[in-house]
Amino acid sequence: MRRASVALALATLTAGLGVFSRPAPAASHTVGGLSPSFGQWTYAHHVITANNAGLSTNLVNQFVYQHNPDPNATLLRVRIRVHALPAHGPYTIGLVDHSAANGNGQYKWSLDLTNRGLELINDGFQVVSRIPYRIPLHRWVSMELLVSDNVLNGKVWTGSRPPKGWMVSGRFFRGLARTQPDAGLYAAHADVSFSQFQILPLGTLFTAQPATPAGVFAQGSAVVDRIAIHHPGAGAASLRLVAQAVDANGHGSVQSRPVKVAPHGSTSFDVRFPFSRLGWYGVQYNLVNSATGQVVESLPQIGAAIVPPPLTPPSRRIAMNISVVSWYYPPSVRSQDIALEFRTLQEQGMGTLRLEFNSNLLPNWVIYDPMMLQAYHYHMHVLGILDSWPTGKNPFVAANHLSFASAVTAYEKAVRAIVNRYRPGGTFDRLHHLSNTVGITQWEIWNEPSIPSRWGGTMTQYGQLVKATAKAVRAVEPHAFLLEYAHHDKTVYQASGDVFSGLAIHYYPGVVPPENSHFPITNAVNHNLTFLHQEHLPPILWMTEVGWNTRLVNPIQQAEYDVRAALESLSAGSGPVYLFIQNFLNSGMGDQHLNFTPKPAYSAVLTVARMVRGYNPSQTLVHGPFRGEIWTGGSDLRLIVWMMGSATVTKSEPNVTGLQATNWMGNLLHSSTLSLSGRPLYLTVANTAANRSRLTAWFQGL
């Protein structure tokens, strides 16, 4: 993790805060060159105070930049009084922390009072927690919001003292250092006045920064975190740092060391971990008061992955979606993000990625050129998505006064420009003096037109768009491979004709595993392959999105499901499987956090990519809750086996000469027993009829 800071609990902070001692500038009506929308701002002793000078409004939107020596930590306090609320409809009153813009417009963390209660909201749409709460009219309501780089805590109360025993809290990863965040008060759909809010510096600050920017370490290298502790208060601090580490199988260890910090002082040191086996590890840091045993500060779990040397050549069948949201960031941050994005993909063994080209963002090629340069550097194939209307106006929205025909004409022009730039030997290759073998030859036409908010027209119109797009693409790149999004409505194919090379499908079952009884992933693949056979079309089907959200399932489940979904989709007959996603808008999707530190799925996907590269699915085995797949490649045979469900069953290893067993993190197993669960094991042996028979018999006897 590049940067993390966590502060004392709010209950402790309300009793009193130490402040930094550098000289304070004189009070003024502006802070950092910003003027409040109402009232005045003052700045003294590193405390920013905003006062609305007695004004009342139904839409207050005051934001101030924090002026702390450490820019990551904010404490915001405010007293508000609600005069009236609407009889019907939602209302929102609260505190907000905004940081750099993302694909939704802004990162938004807010503590809100609504007619549904007290809510903590992430990104402006995800309710993290909710507590029933009634707003008393014409009384002062106090709110406190503590925002650090990856933790937000808040309280709301009436009366002179905050309540004991509850608070709303949330954890998030803001990623690499962005532009300085700002914080403030807002209200909507309610008549509110506020007396003031303050932004105060925190007391002790505790940070951790891995030796490698994304927490991915080569096998055999030292796994090191750099710890920094800042203590601006009076009196020496006698502390103990406790580091708890756990691997993906739940095995843990604890390190502890004393820490002394002088008054108004700082200290830093390295913490080394004895991680040697491949796989994912989570590390939790706690800073403890040595005298009382109280946890003073705590960091959220930091992920680390120990990886083998990169695959050469990389995986082409298990691939990854990547996001372009970092184009909203400043160029220096964006460059750093893209470098980490592709480096971690390469370390994971990825050789193919799926990237969306939004025509409404063009001709700003600086959005995509840096990503394509990295793809060239790491020899990665790109599946491009041709998406969005060039004008940004949807022709299916009447207020836009745009006909479908004119929108398609503009879209065709944008498509030709995109394909001409990024095809092999195209404009991009010539500008950067690259080999004409570099470039995109595979394109997917529109992203999820089955969702009204992404399309809005009829399926016949989507088919017409496919036909027009195919003509535009092949006018520039005659041999382009084109994917049409799969539909159950045959009018799509009647309108498009056979201009497409194959179908693309997406699979999101929510919280259930890929083998769920309602609609397993194998059925999703088989259903569409059957349609292609019936229509005498090439039986080519790619799974271009599949994934699970760690806001809905735990990270270990996500890792298990991602791996099994990839295996089962390929065994059912699909082409490449593109996992969704590397990371995405802090939504919980992806096998990495926004700062590219790994989740358990990162290492699990790395292992399966290595295990099936060069192998082909040969046979599927099902026996009760057990599932197995035999993959063959050259002289080797691999049985991949797991158990559906949460139970663990230990069975004697099959008695096959020369058998090697590897766990889901990529480590060889030397035990005479195998523990079967939802985490696939990989059994490798010489590819002979006798070995296949013995392994099949062992599986059927589980």
Over residues 256-283, mean pLDDT: 92
Q: Is 153 a domain residue? A: yes
Q: Is residue 597 part of a domain?
A: yes
Task: Decide if pLDDT at 180 tops 50.
Answer: no
pLDDT > 70: percent of the chain: 83
Q: How confident is the model at residue 62 (pLDDT cuts 50, 70, 90)?
A: low
Minimal CA–CA distance to 415: which of 464, 496, 469, 337? 469
Quick one: 563 and 450 in the same domain? yes
Q: Are 140 and 154 in contact (CB under 8 A)?
A: no
Same domain, 258 and 353: no
Residues 572, 637: one domain? no
d(CA 111, CA 121) in angstroms, rounded, equals 7
Residues 232, 152: one domain?
no
Mean pLDDT confidence for 564-581? 97
Top pLDDT among 360 and 385 is at 385
Q: Is the pLDDT of residue 21 over 70?
A: no
Q: Is residue 313 part of a domain?
A: no
Q: Are 114 and 131 in contact (CB under 8 A)?
A: no
Q: Domain containing 695 — which CATH number?
A: 2.60.40.1180
**pLDDT exceeds 90 at position 671:** no
pLDDT for the residue 56? 54
Contacts of 463 (CB under 8 A, 6+ apart): 491, 492, 493, 494, 495, 496
Which of 273, 307, 341 is the last residue before a domain boundary? 307
Distance of CA 43 to the CA centre of its chain: 37
Predicted pLDDT of residue 103: 31
Residue 202 or 371, more confident: 371
Residue 573 lies in a domain: yes
> Peptide bond before 514: cis, by omega within 30 degrees of 0?
no
Name the band, by pLDDT with cuts 50, 70 and 90, for residue 265: confident
Confirm whether 191 is domain-assigned: yes
Write down the pLDDT at residue 64.
Answer: 57
Query: Final residue of a domain: which of 556, 579, 610?
Result: 610
Is there a single domain that holds both residue 397 and residue 498? yes
pLDDT, tens digit, for every residue of 27-61? Answer: 334 444 445 555 666 777 667 777 765 555 544 45
pLDDT at 435: 80
Could you report how far apart the first and last alpha carbons of the chain are, in Å? 42
* pLDDT digit string, tens, across residues 286-295: 889 899 988 8
Mean pLDDT across the stretch 211-221?
90
Domain count, the chain: 4
pLDDT for res 280? 97
Domain span holding position 214: 205-307
Rounded-to-10 torsion of CA 108, 114, 119, 123: -20
Q: Are 533 and 698 in contact (CB under 8 A)?
A: no
Which one has a higher pLDDT value, 621 or 296?
Answer: 621
- Model pTM? 0.80
Q: Are residue 600 and residue 678 in the same domain, yes or no?
A: no
Instruction: Name residue, tokens 């529109």.
Output: 446
* CA distance readout (Å), 411 to 382, 418, 617, 642, 695: 21, 11, 40, 46, 54
User: Is 276 within a domain?
Assistant: yes
**Residue 261, domain CATH:** 2.60.40.10
List, as one string, the DSSP characters of 500-521.
-SEEEEEE--TTS-TT-SSS-H
Between 55 and 314, the higher pLDDT residue:
314
- Is pLDDT at 87 greater than 90 in this prediction? no
Residue 124: pLDDT band with limits 50, 70, 90:
low
Q: Residue 5 above 60 pLDDT? A: no
Q: Looking at the structure, tell me whether residues 177 and 243 fall in a common domain.
A: no
Whole-number percent of the chain with pLDDT over 90: 51
Asked if 630 and 578 sit in the same domain, the reply is: no
Give domain status of residue 1, yes or no. no
Q: Are residues 522 and 600 in the same domain?
A: yes
- Cα–Cα distance for residue pair 157/144, rounded to 1 Å: 9
Per-residue pLDDT tens digits for 479-508:
999 999 998 778 898 899 999 999 999 999
Yes or no: say if 437 and 424 are a contact pair by the CB < 8 Å rule: yes
Question: How many CB atoms are located within 10 Å of the residue 209 CB?
Answer: 18
* Residue 174 reports pLDDT greater than 50: no
User: Is a pLDDT exceeding 80 seen at residue 678?
Assistant: yes
Please report which confidence band the pLDDT of residue 473 belongs to, taking 50, 70 and 90 as the band edges.
very high
On average, the pLDDT of the chain sits at 83
Identify the pLDDT of residue 629. 98
351 pLDDT above the threshold of 80 = yes
> ∠619-623-625 over CA atoms, to 5°?
120
Residue 698, classed as helix, strand or coil, is helix
Minimum mean pLDDT range among 31-45, 414-428, 430-444, 553-567: 31-45
Residue 312 lies in a domain: no
Domain boundary among 248, 280, 307: 307
We report the CATH number of the domain holding residue 384 as 3.20.20.80
- Would you call 11 helix, strand, or coil by DSSP? helix
- In our burial notation (b when 16+ CB lie closer than 10 A, e otherwise), range 514-548 reads bbeeeebbbebbeebbebbeeeeeeebbbbbbbbb
Amino acid in the structure at residue 443: W
CATH number of domain containing 181: 2.60.120.560
**Are 369 and 515 part of one and the same domain?**
yes
Q: Categorize the per-residue pLDDT at 2 as very low, low, confident or very high, splitting at 50, 70 and 90.
A: very low
The Cα-based distances of 302 to 214, 225, 378, 593, 595 in angstroms read 10, 10, 27, 10, 11
Give me the pLDDT at residue 475, please. Answer: 97
Q: Are residues 433 and 302 in the same domain?
A: no
Among the listed ranges 34-48, 399-413, 568-582, 632-646, which one has the minimum average pLDDT value?
34-48
Q: For residues 520 and 553, state if they share a domain.
A: yes
Quote the CA–CA distance of 226 and 209 in Å, as a whole number.
5
**Model confidence pLDDT, tens digit, residues 226-259:** 888 877 677 788 999 999 999 999 999 999 999 9
